[in-house]
Structure 1
């Protein structure tokens, strides 16, 4: 593991009052960037139970972002599940759950990964829609945890949601209670996803949290987490400090519950006390990797050569504030809620770091006083193309400008009043346009078999942008069709889709393993012929062959 450590002291200028204890004491920032031994990392897990829990509440039908493609969250989720299912290793087990107001599962219990089970799952994934109502995640989690674990198949749980729940603490407590038998990887889709829920599940489940917002694509982030899930688990993580007599440390960061190859973790510590003799300290990180105890130690100087200001102090303050905010949201309604809020406000004001309870205000440069005056409201125009409101058999389609007031009556004659302020152009809804052409990458990926190979057929030729006759004619005579098809797929991915390597890297590892297992002759000849056919110049070594 590579460790970087920096010590930054507070900036004390003549006449400057210390903002608070944190801003006045020295602060240490330790950056952990794991690089595990190659022999450990090369043995990516070929076993495991992978359980995918997908949100299918109504809001998953919303667009992923404001781009013109209008890809919805649920359609992106379907594409992501396709990549996940194609990338799973042979010999593992899997299942897919979806939830809203109720939950569904594809198989009663997790099944062994094979061509048959993969295809059965993909058929049902294609029909997934955002039609299960609200966001009730606790019941499916309880059901999953009630299922017995499969011997020698560590459970990896992937949870996707775009909302928040009213029982965040109950959910995270349940994940924590079962953390000994699984790792939890969570994904927040869109700006409305609860950070307390997403971060809390990953933290308590020893996994990793990802947020997909703005123009982010879901697929690369999810595939990164799958790579993490295939890594050996790192456990028993502890951090200890060796400091001179008279100096003590207070850890400001939440405990580290998981470490992954290439994933940075930061630790902040506040130092207090003084020493006149010793000037060195050290920090030791201990952990268990693949069942073997390991540790790394780093020494640092307690007296940096230069004054480095308050940058790291504010970063540490931000970490403390975010942690307190998360606890405050999780413990809503409890007695210490106001206490935590008060701590957040106090630290935010004194450190100059904004929080959910504070904001920056305009100050007159001449007299240093806050600018006074009434608040001015400005309406920010937002493009609006229509809202569909559904109450049993009643539908409304709204489109237009200006303030809107409308009333809806359900079949039980309960009146519901809504007020909307809508700005933007009036959009006329014409006949439905044909569905967009499928992404060429996903088209090729969808043709891969569970074993990792591709079949030589018209569908593959179309995905490669070639006629079937061209592909057949270019095949070396001594090579069987499946090996030739698989090498062509690898060349196409390396030649045309390197920008999406994170999305297809794992499934190509399966393909390479399958090709090597065939002991096929003339692989070099195949690569050369494939490059000529596809107009690429990919080397055999680049393919892993």
Structure 2
């Protein structure tokens, strides 16, 4: 696989004699509306052809956050406005080329075949002196940020065009980049019963107003609304724009049923799963796979910091190993070693020498080698720490999925993206293929809580049989209970039906014509019908406490009069059966948001080798086993069907926009409903749309009642940028001094951190061993002085209390005895 050094700089350009000449970006604006935990962004960019001649084709390369659903594409060239429609990829390309050849204005937007978060827009026939306006609208699920316990929204670094020389030095810088404008506005609206407590950015200084949105600044002030703005005098950002929103009551599970406005009786269900339960922790094998390629030079310190937190928080009894990779890879030990003071010291010394000196970013082999070296009598938890930007990501994901499937769920892989220009499709793809979770840490951003949360997830027992059951009322018209899931029916294969027998001896066949001419048409694909109800993802991934997961259901139009009542999430583990019932809220207004989020998620499943096609059977065979030579085409056909039906682009279908002709055959289409409709839908329901892109910045409010306006009725505003990692985390010195078993010993450094002398502590708890008292004091210090950062040290304290209990101590009584010292 290619390394991150092969990635191309983003921007709009024309190619002349194999050299890229970048076009001036006059203006970039992004307006995002966040409703609960979903987002809708309208990205507007203006380019200008200041050259002396017309441009035959303008290309624009840019990234979007992994998993977003691009639902609208519009180009304005001069006074001509063209709207995009979704077509099969090759057909869209042909439509675009035909229009361009005819001298018409045309536009095409395609997803990269190698990286799902990279897109290319082509604009054909741009007159000299003309401005080009490109509008792209996309939906996204906002993901959970464990560091702030909130939602994270990200605009990738190179949406604001970056210009510079490439690997071969042949690309020219645009001379008039400076002076261009970049602005971001994010309006946040929370449902009834939820109040915004913080809006922050770890990446940029922002202006925050609590109480209203930019769309309606005169509305009554309420803590359900907020606006964050960023305005820069350049179109080149130096880091991803990241916004964190913390609000009350976002951790509740929910289920929303939406009816499509144009597809007759078609409904989509979105279930947000936020498990809150505890099970006994496991002691697995844990392998850390660390990116030490040259591109990590600015982030290797953050990687080392994350590893130190991981290592100190490991529980006694696990096996662990560390792998470094770049162009090549190496493991600290041939096989994982038992966690002990000696192995902890060796590992700590090893990572302290880490530098970004291992060349390119080749992660396929080290991840596969970690799978091959694992202990087969233990579950394996793999952490991939990388800033990696690689092409051919599907190849990596396919390998990971194969090993995870073959292990019957014994392997899980977690992704931690480190740095300001991480490929979101890579890190999220690693987590999807590996059944883990993904988190991101920007340069100099605090990470303690999210690292501990990821480790806690890895120690959570494996549950591999989650399923969703929908509870329907009895359907009198149908005479039976409504059926939830149907397997696809047998294909209507006509391969051998009513075909004439071919004689093996044909008297009229001439010697010079020994065979028939080749057929001019390809073999038709078998008619494999999709199931009436499609669950997305088809196999519910592992769920982790306090981490949101969305599961969708695209429901058929059968029995539309029957409204489901609730959803049951069920599973089993060694501790017993698991169950959660979630009531379903039926949305009053018809809309497309849930349908399009579900459609894009299903397309991602298909693109990465999963989805219903991968598991469905024809007779007693899987589709792949029955039609191996046509399987990839069947999968692509289903991806195209989903994309064109729900107006969502992806790997196999693109947006194409050409001028409307007099005969009306091209190219206006019904656009998705205005987002105001979606706002009304989710505000009236009092429910929340879950998941998306996340990270920190902090703005705190006094805790009044949910939705109450600030006193005096005035808006609350401020310029804010979070302290990030510059805020020294008080738990770090204590964590460093802790021994591998979870205990502390009296030293001058420990006395200095705790602010007490060993003699005073021993007097408060007489009759106990010195290290027992030291450990009890450290635990008491965490609990009394550092409660605000509990999530960052809770595994440390659990480990320490376990050590105290193993010494035969009454832990609660001992902690109470020393608490008065703090």
TM-score category, normalised to shorter length: 0.5 to 0.7
* Superposition TM-score, scaled by structure 1 size: 0.67
Q: Deviations over 1:139-166 (max 9, x none)?
A: 1122212214153x21111111111223
User: Does the C-alpha gap of structure 1 residues 24 and 211 become closer, same or farther in structure 2, counting only changes over 3 Å?
Assistant: farther
Instruction: Give the structure 2 partner of residue 500 of structure 1.
Output: 789
- The whole-number CA distance in structure 1 between the counterparts of 2:396 and 2:284 is 23
Answer yes or no: is 1:251 the counterpart of 2:540: no
- The whole-number CA distance in structure 2 between the counterparts of 1:324 and 1:318 is 10
- The whole-number CA distance in structure 2 between the counterparts of 1:511 and 1:193 is 35
Contact 2:290 2:384 in 1 (8 A): yes
Answer yes or no: is 1:232 the counterpart of 2:232: no
- The whole-number CA distance in structure 2 between the counterparts of 1:212 and 1:359 is 36
Instruction: Give the structure 2 partner of residue 169 of structure 1.
Output: 394
User: Does the C-alpha gap of structure 1 residues 50 and 454 become closer, same or farther in structure 2, counting only changes over 3 Å?
Assistant: same
Answer yes or no: is 1:44 the counterpart of 2:281: yes
- The whole-number CA distance in structure 2 between the counterparts of 1:261 and 1:337 is 33
Matches within 5 A, 1:191-202: 191-202=420-431
Contact 2:776 2:814 in 1 (8 A): no
Counterpart secondary structure, 1:217: coil
How many matched pairs? 423
Counterpart secondary structure, 1:207: strand
Contact 2:325 2:358 in 1 (8 A): yes
Answer yes or no: is 1:97 the counterpart of 2:376: no
Matches within 5 A, 1:198-209: 198-209=427-438
Matches within 5 A, 1:12-161: 18=262, 21=263, 25-36=266-277, 38=278, 41=279, 43-45=280-282, 47-62=283-298, 73-151=299-377, 153-161=378-386
- The whole-number CA distance in structure 2 between the counterparts of 1:276 and 1:58 is 57
Corresponding residue to 2:554 among 256, 265, 270: 270
User: Does the C-alpha gap of structure 1 residues 358 and 131 become closer, same or farther in structure 2, counting only changes over 3 Å?
Assistant: farther
Answer yes or no: is 1:471 the counterpart of 2:776: no
Structure 1 residue 5, shift from structure 2 partner: 2.4
Structure 1 residue 447, shift from structure 2 partner: 0.8
Q: Deviations over 1:422-455 (max 9, x none)?
A: xxxxxxxxxxxxxx99854222111101111000
Structure 1 residue 169, shift from structure 2 partner: 2.0
Contact 1:196 1:330 in 2 (8 A): no
- The whole-number CA distance in structure 2 between the counterparts of 1:359 and 1:210 is 34
Answer yes or no: is 1:515 the counterpart of 2:804: yes
Structure 1 residue 329, shift from structure 2 partner: 8.8
Contact 2:441 2:447 in 1 (8 A): yes
Answer yes or no: is 1:184 the counterpart of 2:413: yes
Counterpart secondary structure, 1:273: coil
Structure 1 residue 297, shift from structure 2 partner: 5.6
Structure 1 residue 136, shift from structure 2 partner: 0.7
User: Does the C-alpha gap of structure 1 residues 319 and 194 become closer, same or farther in structure 2, counting only changes over 3 Å?
Assistant: farther
Contact 2:397 2:608 in 1 (8 A): no
- The whole-number CA distance in structure 2 between the counterparts of 1:521 and 1:223 is 27
Counterpart secondary structure, 2:436: coil
- The whole-number CA distance in structure 1 between the counterparts of 2:562 and 2:815 is 66
Gaps of 5+ in 1: 12-17, 63-72, 361-368, 370-435, 537-545
* Superposition TM-score, scaled by structure 2 size: 0.46
Counterpart secondary structure, 2:555: strand
- The whole-number CA distance in structure 1 between the counterparts of 2:356 and 2:310 is 20
Q: Deviations over 1:225-246 (max 9, x none)?
A: 1111111111123334566548
User: Does the C-alpha gap of structure 1 residues 338 and 269 become closer, same or farther in structure 2, counting only changes over 3 Å?
Assistant: closer
Structure 1 residue 345, shift from structure 2 partner: 7.3
User: Does the C-alpha gap of structure 1 residues 296 and 113 become closer, same or farther in structure 2, counting only changes over 3 Å?
Assistant: same
Counterpart secondary structure, 1:263: coil
Instruction: Give the structure 2 partner of residue 8 of structure 1.
Output: 258
Counterpart secondary structure, 2:773: helix
- The whole-number CA distance in structure 2 between the counterparts of 1:169 and 1:340 is 18
Instruction: Give the structure 2 partner of residue 373 of structure 1.
Output: none
Q: Deviations over 1:72-123 (max 9, x none)?
A: x221221221221121111111111111111122112101111111111111
Contact 2:418 2:443 in 1 (8 A): no
- The whole-number CA distance in structure 1 between the counterparts of 2:330 and 2:535 is 43
Instruction: Give the structure 2 partner of residue 403 of structure 1.
Output: none
Matches within 5 A, 1:208-357: 208-213=437-442, 216-241=445-470, 244=475, 245=478, 248-253=532-537, 255-275=539-559, 278-280=562-564, 283-290=567-574, 292-296=576-580, 300=584, 304=586, 307-310=588-591, 313-321=592-600, 324=603, 346=644, 350=647
Counterpart secondary structure, 2:412: strand
User: Does the C-alpha gap of structure 1 residues 492 and 177 become closer, same or farther in structure 2, counting only changes over 3 Å?
Assistant: same
Structure 1 residue 258, shift from structure 2 partner: 1.1
- Select between 438-447 and 454-463 the one with higher mean Cα deviation: 438-447
- The whole-number CA distance in structure 2 between the counterparts of 1:315 and 1:214 is 34
User: Does the C-alpha gap of structure 1 residues 240 and 273 become closer, same or farther in structure 2, counting only changes over 3 Å?
Assistant: same
- Give the superposed CA RMSD: 3.9
Instruction: Give the structure 1 partner of residue 237 of structure 2.
Output: none
Matches within 5 A, 1:479-498: 479-498=768-787
Corresponding residue to 2:733 among 432, 443, 452: 443
User: Does the C-alpha gap of structure 1 residues 308 and 102 become closer, same or farther in structure 2, counting only changes over 3 Å?
Assistant: same
Structure 1 residue 167, shift from structure 2 partner: 3.1
- The whole-number CA distance in structure 2 between the counterparts of 1:80 and 1:357 is 39
Gaps of 5+ in 2: 1-250, 484-531, 611-631, 658-667, 669-725
Compare relative contact order (CA 8 Å, sep 6+) and give the higher one, 1 or 2: 2
Contact 1:484 1:526 in 2 (8 A): no
Instruction: Give the structure 1 partner of residue 751 of structure 2.
Output: 461
Contact 1:30 1:268 in 2 (8 A): yes
- The whole-number CA distance in structure 2 between the counterparts of 1:319 and 1:130 is 40
- The whole-number CA distance in structure 2 between the counterparts of 1:522 and 1:212 is 35
Q: Deviations over 1:337-395 (max 9, x none)?
A: 997997787578x5799xx97799xxxxxxxx9xxxxxxxxxxxxxxxxxxxxxxxxxx
Counterpart secondary structure, 1:27: strand
